[in-house]
A = this chain, B = another copy of it.
Amino acid sequence: VFAYERPVGFEDVDAAGIVFFSRFFGYCHEAMEAMLAPLDGGYARLIVTRKLGLPAVHVEADFRSPLRFGDVVRIETTVERLGTSSVALRFDLARGADAIATIRHVVVLTNLETMRSAPLPDDVRAVLARHAATT
Which A residues have a C-beta under 8 Å from some C-beta of B?
Answer: 7, 9-11, 13-18, 20-26, 29-30, 33, 41, 43-45, 47-48, 53, 55-64, 66, 68-70, 112, 115
Contacts and interface: CB of A to CB of B under 8 A. Distances in A.
Given A9-B30, A10-B30, A17-B112, 9 more contacts: A9-B26, A10-B16, A10-B20, A13-B14, A13-B15, A15-B70, A22-B23, A47-B70, A56-B63
Contact of A58 (B9, B56, B62, B70): B62
Contacts of A68: 15, 48
Contacts of A26: 9, 11, 20, 22
A48 B57 CA distance: 24
